[in-house]
Structure 1
Amino acid sequence: MVEPTCPGALERYVNLGACYDTAALKPMRQALVQAMEGYPACYRRAYRCLRAASEIRADLRALLETPQLEERLLRRAKGILSRECKKTGGQPGKAVQRFLGAVCCRGVVCHFDTAEALCQRRYVLCDSYGLAHPLLSALAAGAMAAGYDVTVCPDPAQPDRMSHLLIPSLSLAFLTSTPELPYEGHAYRRLRVDAMADPQAVRRSRARLRFGRKIAAALTEEAVEAMAQAKEKHDRLEALYNPHVDFDRVLATADRLAEELLG
């Protein structure tokens, strides 16, 4: 529940609780409480696992991120921008943020089909260690400076880092493909981000990199399992509630609010 900061003037309450048949729900109190038992704990476990997995991935990146790697990535970004993003001569472009994927009860998912629908030319960044963020950031900044709007797609597990970049007006996408979530569609070009890392650093840390990826994957799998358990509990709760909700009244409330907002 979100409390209004200035009720009546800027915001107002919408009470969907009035759509419940409270007389029918009161005798079901015990069943409703039992259906929710352990539900918050499932999400707490999932979030703890995802935080731990993110920390491990950050540790792996630290083994390979060097000034030399960043220089290579920025140089590659500059070359791509000079080829793909000719200056429009207009105002700088804007960025919107949209999540293209998620970690959810069905696993780690990404709607690559959305990128395919918007962009015919797709650069695929083969990245096993999460090193593509500086490249994508430089591409986004350069495209906006040239006058193009961009869609920034953050990593759902680490929202401060970018996973994909779309430039719809150029029909151009930059999609990160990982061993855990590979992009299997047609690639206009492929960039091996892994190959830009220092080969000696990769060889020196190979065992640690392999172990860290395995642990991070296991933690993510545990988080997915916890969210799946939470969904099962929520589905049971919905099955109990739904026969006693006046959905016609819910939809009528939505229609009235939409009419007021759009009018």
Structure 2
Amino acid sequence: MVCLNDCWDEEALQKERNKIMELSKQNARCHERCCRFLAAAGSLLNDSYRITAEYVDAGKIARYATRLAGKEFRARKQGRGTETVRFLSAVTAQGITTYKNTPQALCERIYLVEDEYGAVSRLLMNAIRSHALAAGLDIISCYCISSPFEKLEHVLIPEIGVGFLTANRYHPFDIECYRHIHAKRFMDAEGLRSKKQRLSFNRKAIGELLGEASRLLAEAKEVHDELETCYTTHMDFDKVNEKSTQLLNVFKSIYQSKK
């Protein structure tokens, strides 16, 4: 732990105590409200998933995943592969941000699953995940930010250069891919049509909720910047640099002793 408390002018900060406390409260309120909007959006996303899941042919998805695994996966080692969990997207002050270049940097071939509601892709990605791990492949599993413990959206397998991505209005992934897979081929389109009005309502509400969450994050950033200014104005950066030099010398000493 590196403590920098002795690098600021405590007496000067005490004079701004009330302002600092108020800004801290404002920042916390923005984040709390943002979390509530995100939770509401997540609830509607899950509602849309449950609606569409009733019209999915799970057996057809399982058979397709088995054929796909037979084509792409070859056992690399004995035993089960390892799994790393990551996120590719996040709700930020600039809206939903997705690291679209990461899959392309790690995988030469991308299978892109076009699935607006996630009912098909969730089953397909979980099946692909299971087949890959059983084949001894090391994978990167990327979950949905609204359901981080349940909804698997992307599976990347860098060691064989193959990735599987889910594309929808929140992360469209307008990238060049090896093959497109359309969710509709695994769904009862006629039955789903009867739920069109409810799904449309959810979609619009989700957009509003996510937009407000991003706006609150932007507001929190502005408050944080103002709060930070209170501290930087009364910071002795010569002392900070001195501590940095001392810390670097410690690292150098440790490094030299290990050589």
TM-score (norm 1): 0.86
* Compared CA separation, residues 201 and 14, structure 1 to 2 (3 A): farther
Q: CA deviation at 1:229?
A: 0.7
SS in 1 for 2:171: coil
Structure 1 counterpart of 2:156, from 163, 166, 174: 166
Matches within 5 A, 1:85-164: 85-131=73-119, 132-160=121-149, 161-164=151-154
1:216 maps to what in 2? 206
Measure, in 2, the Cα distance between the counterparts of 1:242 and 1:30.
Answer: 17
Counterpart amino acid of residue 92 in structure 2: C
The CA distance in 2 between the partners of 1:253 and 1:201, in whole Å, is 69
Indicate whether 1:197 and 2:190 are aligned: no
Segments of 4+ in structure 1 off by > 6 A?
Answer: 256-263
| SS of alignment partner, residue 221 of structure 2 | helix
Q: CA deviation at 1:234?
A: 0.5
d(CA) in 2 for partners of 1:117 and 1:234? 34
Give the equivalent residue in structure 2 for 1:24.
12
Are 1:176 and 2:166 an aligned pair? yes
Task: Give 1:227's aligned residue.
Answer: 217
Between 35-44 and 113-122, report the one with greater CA deviation. Answer: 35-44
Alpha-carbon distance in structure 2 between the residues aligned to 1:102 and 1:203 = 31
Letter aligned with residue 156 of structure 1: I
Could you report, residue by residue, the CA deviation over 1:201-255 in whole angstroms, capped at 9, with x for unpaired residues? 3111011111111111111111111111111100111122124344425645765
Task: Note if 1:45 corresponds to 2:33.
Answer: yes
2:241 alignment partner in structure 1 = 248
Question: Secondary structure of the equivalent of 1:24?
Answer: helix
- Supply the distance in 1 between the matched residues of 2:205 and 2:124 (Cα, whole angstroms): 26
* Paired residue secondary structure (2:219): helix
Deviations 1:136-190 (A, max 9, x none): 1111111111111000111122202112111000111111110232111101001
Provide the alpha-carbon RMSD of the alignment: 2.4
Q: Quick check: 1:80 aligned with 2:68?
A: yes
Name the CA distance, whole Å, in 2 between partners of 1:24 and 1:233: 20
Partner AA of 1:54 in structure 2: G
Show structure 1 runs of 5+ residues with no match.
Answer: 1-12
CA distance in structure 2 between the partners assigned to 1:138 and 1:256 by the alignment? 51
8 Å Cα contact 1:64/1:198 also seen in 2: no
1:38 Cα deviation from its structure 2 partner:
1.7
**In structure 2, C-alpha distance between the alignment counterparts of 1:208 and 1:261, rounded to whole Å:** 63
Q: Which runs of 5+ in 2 are unaligned?
A: none
The TM-score with structure 2 as length reference comes to 0.87
Q: What secondary structure is seen at the aligned counterpart in 1 of 2:112?
A: strand
Paired with 1:52 and 1:61, the residues of 2 have a C-alpha distance of: 14
What is the deviation of 1:89?
4.3
Structure 1 residues 252 and 79: CA distance shift in structure 2, 3 A: farther
Shift of 1:15: 3.3
Q: Aligned pair in 2 of structure 1 residues 60, 249: CA closer, same or farther (>3 Å)?
A: farther
